Amino acid sequence: MNDVTEPVSATLAERAKRALGRRNLIFIGLMGAGKSAIGRMTAQALGVPFVDSDHEIERVSRMTISELFTAYGEEEFRALEARVLKRLLRSGPRVVSTGGGAYVNERSRRQIKKGGLTVWLNAELEVLWERVNKRDTRPLLKTENPKQTLENLMRARYPIYAEADLVVLSRDVKKETMVEEVLAAIADCKKAETP
């Protein structure tokens, strides 16, 4: 097997960049879908800045996401998240990865839809579980049966995520393959850029 990572097609990246225009590209999906990793690589391919909204929330609050959930609860966390997203989406183009619950929050969802082109990284339960069960940093999975909790989150959130402009299947393939699929989806997107 060849361990050399293959570069993303420059032509495809250019087509995607033209289709994106001045808009932001916002990744949504459940924890473990690859929003941060694929988002960062997509930003690099497009030659635009990348911002992880969870990292930005931690930076401005000087607390981890888990600490924020513990200290203030989910409702207060979502209010902070909405404020941070509003600020991040004011200008573009940039690639933004969001927390798994951001798009579910109605206020944040309105800001995200207004702020750019949305890409849902849609993943099956087993793919997500394989990715998230190794770390104990997911506050919503600190339950008696975390895999069942993850499945419940899928049932509740997937119909809302389905409102995204673009959907790309997240699965166990090379990250470069996922980035190519995201870029192809952007390049083929028919949603017109709003001035």
Residues flagged as binding site for ATP: 32-37, 138
Q: Please count the other Cβ atoms lying within 10 Å of the Cβ belonging to residue 63.
A: 17
Q: Measured between alpha carbons, how far is residue 59 from residues 65, 70, 102 in Å?
A: 10, 17, 17
Binding residues for substrate: 54, 78, 100, 157
Instruction: For the chain, list the strands marked E by DSSP.
Output: 24-28, 50-52, 95-97, 116-123, 166-170
Binding residues for Mg(2+): 36
Q: Are 93 and 48 in contact (CB under 8 A)?
A: yes
Binding residues: 32-37, 54, 78, 100, 138, 157
Structure tokens at 40: 């960062």
Structure tokens at 82: 């909405």
Distance of CA 140 to the CA centre of its chain: 17
